[in-house]
Structure 1
Amino acid sequence: METTNKLKDINEVLEFLYQEFPQCFKQKDGIKPLKVGIFKDIAERIEGSEKVSKTQVRQALRKYTSNWRYLEAVTKSEFRIDLDGNQGEKVEQEHIDHAQKSLEESRAKMAKRKKSQRPRNDSDTKSYKKKPGQFAKTGDKNAKVNSTPAKAAPAKRSGKIEPLPASEVKVNNKVKVKLGQALVNAIITEVNKEDVHVELVTGMQVKTKADSLYII
């Protein structure tokens, strides 16, 4: 008999996926890239479940597919797998490139966070010496001050991009979604009024707006 106690913690939802689909979801060893559109497959399998909701599954998938181990698996695996662990479509090179970029950015953020948390040594400040062109300390009248702000490099554009027509905002349609300054290939998994849920090439679930979608 199925329990009616609904899971609340995201880690509990992940544990549910590990137990429900052991051939697909792995905690450490044996992680493989997930089939594109796997959220829809999970939603169908858990239809009527009182333990987890589709929203919770989407959040769990986002955490699972943003994990370093998963991103590394995307860069090293040749094929994706379905819920039963069966070999699916081949991992395309653009998916590998995106996973590698996400992995590098995530590691860089982690390194920056650790560096900012490192205790500051007062002797480092005292032994600091100004170099030509550097900013001067307050009160140093003879020092040079570089008041010219650095110019940001212009964003590169690769070809013309066209917004996705409203008539094409449909489930299973392939699109490009704007994330920051980048355009990433994705597939629409759900349309809920103004919100559109898409699945990125890495498997990550993202909620966005229709005006952030473009034609592939």
Structure 2
Amino acid sequence: MENQPKLNSSKEVIAFLAERFPHCFSAEGEARPLKIGIFQDLVERVQGEMNLSKTQLRSALRLYTSSWRYLYGIKAGATRVDLDGNACGELDEQHVEHARKQLEEAKARVQAQREQQQAKKREAGEETAPRRSRKPAPRKPAAEGEQPRKARPKAPRPAQERAAPVEREPRPQPVTDTSALQVGQSIRVKAGKSAMDATILEISKDGVRVQLVSGLAMIVRAEHLQF
């Protein structure tokens, strides 16, 4: 067992569970409602496999059941399943209503973040329409014997009328100490060369759990976060 690879993220744990229990978990598409108390079943069935701890299993389950695709599957008439895909009763109405509210709140947060980003772009002048270039009017030909007029030199624009330089936004700073973070704080998550806006949901020793504007929740390390 000591030579088994270790799963470092909740996404990797979910992928492992989908392969280990394909009739219960899924890595993509709509997810089936899980049996109540399935966490304890998982602890008993995968004890020692892939060096998984209870903390990792709990974090992965929390991420799985808070995802949009899982909340879409919590609907009237749907049946809960155990690890082997066996039916474990239909969903209660209160669970269906709770999932519906969670989904609506998640969508509202995403929409609010999009509107906030659009407002920032408008303030920065990124959405202003390009100015149309004016073509100079054609000059009339000089009459016979008339000397052509010399173009008058343009007076320099006063310094006050010159456009002020656009202030650039400060570059994002990497997070070096998680003690400075707070739940509910807006943060940016590095993904390759780009970064995504997110909100902090939980801070633990395993990392920081955030929710992206897409509604996806994940646990990331401090070095992948930016102010």
Q: Give the TM bin, normalised by the shorter chain.
A: 0.5 to 0.7
| Aligned mates of 1:115, 1:77 — CA distance in 2 | 36
Long gaps (5+) in structure 2: 126-227
8 Å CA contact 2:24, 2:84 repeated in 1: yes
| Deviation of the 1:47 alpha carbon | 1.4
Q: How does 1:54-133 map to 2 (within 5 A)?
A: 54-118=54-118, 119-121=121-123
Comparing 48-57 and 110-119, the one that deviates more: 48-57
| Aligned mates of 2:7, 2:46 — CA distance in 1 | 13
Q: CA RMSD in A?
A: 2.4
**Percent identical:** 43
What is the SS of the residue equivalent to 1:80? Answer: strand
What is the SS of the residue equivalent to 1:85? Answer: coil
**Rg bigger for which structure?**
2
Task: Tell me the amino acid that sits aligned with residue 42 of structure 2.
Answer: I
8 Å CA contact 1:71, 1:103 repeated in 2: yes
What TM-score do the two structures reach when normalised by structure 2? 0.50
Long gaps (5+) in structure 1: 124-216
> Which residue in 1 is equivalent to 2:129?
none
Distance 1:30 1:108, change over 3 A: closer
Task: Tell me the amino acid that sits aligned with residue 100 of structure 2.
Answer: Q
| Aligned mates of 1:99, 1:58 — CA distance in 2 | 19
Which is bigger in relative contact order (C-alpha 8 A, separation at least 6)? 1
8 Å CA contact 1:7, 1:13 repeated in 2: yes
Distance 1:36 1:55, change over 3 A: same
> Which residue in 1 is equivalent to 2:19?
19
Task: Tell me the amino acid that sits aligned with residue 120 of structure 1.
Answer: R
Which contiguous aligned blocks of 4+ residues in structure 1 show a shift greater than 6 angstroms?
none
| Deviation of the 1:75 alpha carbon | 1.8
| Deviation of the 1:40 alpha carbon | 0.5
Q: How does 1:1-216 map to 2 (within 5 A)?
A: 3-118=3-118, 119-121=121-123
Task: Tell me the amino acid that sits aligned with residue 109 of structure 2.
Answer: K
| Deviation of the 1:76 alpha carbon | 4.7
8 Å CA contact 1:4, 1:50 repeated in 2: yes
What is the SS of the residue equivalent to 1:88? Answer: strand
| Aligned mates of 1:79, 1:36 — CA distance in 2 | 11
8 Å CA contact 1:33, 1:77 repeated in 2: no
Matched pairs, number: 125
| Aligned mates of 1:34, 1:117 — CA distance in 2 | 36
8 Å CA contact 1:71, 1:99 repeated in 2: yes
| Aligned mates of 1:64, 1:3 — CA distance in 2 | 27
| Deviation of the 1:54 alpha carbon | 1.1
| Deviation of the 1:89 alpha carbon | 1.6
| Aligned mates of 1:83, 1:63 — CA distance in 2 | 17
8 Å CA contact 1:32, 1:77 repeated in 2: no
8 Å CA contact 1:31, 1:70 repeated in 2: yes
| Aligned mates of 1:27, 1:49 — CA distance in 2 | 19
| Deviation of the 1:31 alpha carbon | 1.8
User: Deviation string for 1:90-120 (max 9, x for gaps)?
Assistant: 1000000000000000110011111111212
| Aligned mates of 2:71, 2:109 — CA distance in 1 | 15
